[in-house]
Structure 1
Amino acid sequence: MAHHHHHHGSEAGDRRMIWAIGVNLALTLAQIAGGILSGSLSLIADALHNFSDAASLVIAAFARRIARRPSDATMTFGYVRAEVVAALINYTTLIVIGLYLVYEAVMRFITPEPIEGWIVVGVAVVALLIDLVTALLTYTMSKESMNIRAAFVHNVADALGSVGVIIAGTLILLYDWQIVDPIVTLAIAGYILWQAFAEIGGAIRMLMLGTPPDVDVAQLIERLCGIEGVTDIHHVHVFAIDERLTAMEAHVVVAEGHGETADAVRNRLKQIANAEFGIAHSTLELTIGRSCCEAGEAKVIGHRTGRSAGTDGSNGHQH
């Protein structure tokens, strides 16, 4: 029953993504037509910016579909990280767009360009409405997925761009305040860069097999070492397979007298890792008897193996 519910949820999400892509592509075509009719280069430029939004949604939707593929011989972890790769691509393009907007704003301060009439403001209002529709279509999914969140931020950035055009265009047409345009552009660029840099670190961390920020590895080792029968835990690696699944690998040494209860010890360790640290997938190698490490090194993460490792000037071998 749960499987079918998830499947229907995925299909509903896919439909929302298709609608979001469709309305953004329609807006892009409308902006290009409006730009040609009004002779407005800025409107055509905004159409190209909006096309980058549609492209970000296409990347997000494509990655979403790939991520649902089952694992196979070539991808034993499955394809779930396709969404993380898509998020990295979309946040990177956001940073490029943000930096380009900063450049454009600075150039506008130096050489102001006139706004090309009410048609630009009118199309910006339509663009804002489309952006709001897209935001509504993707908002719920953005809470659960780094991938969709990246596309959502693209969309919010574009909505802010439309608001900026409306505010700046109206003030310039009514009061001839040319300085408003680059000021608003800088504010939007600042928001885009702030959001992109705040989010891109999570995608990079996951792709580099970094420990999830909510897991304290030292505390985890301390807690697991306190279980009866456990004398040593080392070679500990904690990493996120995707946004919802955290995994752990570790070598556990069980005391001599607990050989017969080794499976019970393993199950207890997995239970604690899951319940207290949110680690749902644990691969634990158990050894009975003496540790391969010296006592002082037992709890060191990725410890140096052997008694004299690292004494030759090297930094030892990290597992």
Structure 2
Amino acid sequence: MSREHSHDSTEHSEAHRQHAHHAHHHHHIDPEAGDARVAGAIAVNMFLTLAQIIGGVVSGSLALIADAIHNFSDAISLVIAFGARKISRRPRDGDMTFGYARAEIVAAMINYTSLVVISFYLLAEGVSRLFNPPEVAGWTVVVIAGIALLVDLVTAALTYTMSKDSLNIRAAFLHNLADAATSVAVIFGGVVILLWDWRLIDPLLTIGISLYIFGHALIEIRPVIRLLMLGAPDGMRAEEVAEAMGEMAGVENVHHVHLWQIDEHRSSLEAHVVVTEEIEPGPVLVALKTLLRERFAVAHSTLEVERPGAGCADGAHSAHSHSAH
């Protein structure tokens, strides 16, 4: 039995990663500049939180303090995103052989989970207020909500472009977007109550916002879960890749195929390849790796060569197997 293990070089993988990154994302921002934007968004939210707490204590407004806590949750989501960005750029080591890029996926999962919790909290609050409509809050709350909305818009402006390129920043951005929507609801509801005294508008808007946040969180959390579960890249199936590999000249069978995403920008594949007895495996491996890179954007592949009738060459125990016709 002849076996040959082949790995793409780190430099080649990194070069392709950068190529794929620029090919699919047109809003790339320098990491340091991105860090500065996130840090700025954290500072703005922390400043607003402090101002609201001071204002709430001085004026005796519980609503103001409650809104300060809400804004603080936004700041925390940005702190988590910022920390994950820093960790993700650490070089790989003996413990983390794929590197630390998945730290951003973990951060996104934390922030999306907290969004789901917030949506349930808002839903419960809205339903309870349906049976006990709030008192007229006064223009103070409307003005404060307006200031909060302004901060939310500044934060959104700082993180919007980056959210297109990172699941991690997108989770923090949606956290902020949910807060902005809540501020709009408070302003609109407050004005309606002050002008027409229709107090049911507040709980109805709260319920609507909670369902909006929940729906978005469910949609956005799916690719995060897929990454954490070592799923194949979206829109790509292992069977399809195995079939394309099996059609290569000199390949009799491809089995034991595992295809997954290392992080948002890198995909990986391992497979057993049965090469025809009389053919030299080297050129076949080069051709297969070129196919994987150029057609499927898989920069990191590990291929194990087998000869017909040797080892698990029949692929009987494989979930994904394809024989050449």
TM-score, with structure 1 as normaliser: 0.89
CA contact (8 A) 1:233 1:299 kept: no
Aligned residue in 2 for 1:230: 251
Distance apart, 1:42 and its partner CA: 2.2
User: Can you list the C-alpha shifts for 1:32-81, whole angstroms capped at 9, x where unaligned?
Assistant: 22323443322211111110000000000000000000000111111000
Any residues of structure 2 matched to 1:129-168 within 5 Å, and which? 129-168=150-189
Residue 278 in 1 paired to residue 297 in 2?
yes
Higher mean C-alpha displacement, 50-59 vs 200-209: 200-209
Residue 12 in 1 paired to residue 29 in 2?
no
* d(CA) in 2 for partners of 1:75, 1:33: 44
Aligned residue in 2 for 1:215: 236
Distance apart, 1:273 and its partner CA: 1.4
Higher mean C-alpha displacement, 31-40 vs 87-96: 31-40
* d(CA) in 1 for partners of 2:246, 2:126: 57
* d(CA) in 1 for partners of 2:317, 2:242: 10
Residue number among 247, 251, 254 corresponding to 2:268 in the alignment? 247
SS in 2 for 1:238: strand
User: Can you list the C-alpha shifts for 1:147-191, whole angstroms capped at 9, x where unaligned?
Assistant: 000000000000001101100011101111100001111111111
SS in 1 for 2:255: strand
Aligned residue in 2 for 1:172: 193
* d(CA) in 1 for partners of 2:55, 2:184: 18
Residue 106 in 1 paired to residue 157 in 2?
no
Gaps in structure 2 of 5+ consecutive residues: 1-14, 23-27
Residue number among 52, 63, 80 corresponding to 2:101 in the alignment? 80
TM-score, with structure 2 as normaliser: 0.87
Residue number among 258, 278, 287 corresponding to 1:257 in the alignment? 278
* d(CA) in 2 for partners of 1:146, 1:8: 15
Name the CA shift for 1:46/1:291 in 2 (closer, same or farther; >3 Å).
farther
* d(CA) in 2 for partners of 1:276, 1:198: 28
Aligned residue in 1 for 2:285: 266
Amino acid at match of 2:256: H
User: Can you list the C-alpha shifts for 1:205-227, whole angstroms capped at 9, x where unaligned?
Assistant: 11111112221221111111000
* d(CA) in 1 for partners of 2:30, 2:165: 13
C-alpha RMSD over aligned residues: 2.1
Residue 30 in 1 paired to residue 75 in 2?
no
Higher RCO, 1 vs 2 (CA within 8 Å, ≥6 residues apart): 2
Gaps in structure 1 of 5+ consecutive residues: 304-319
Identity among equivalent positions (%) equals 54
Aligned residue pair count: 298
SS in 2 for 1:236: strand
SS in 2 for 1:100: helix
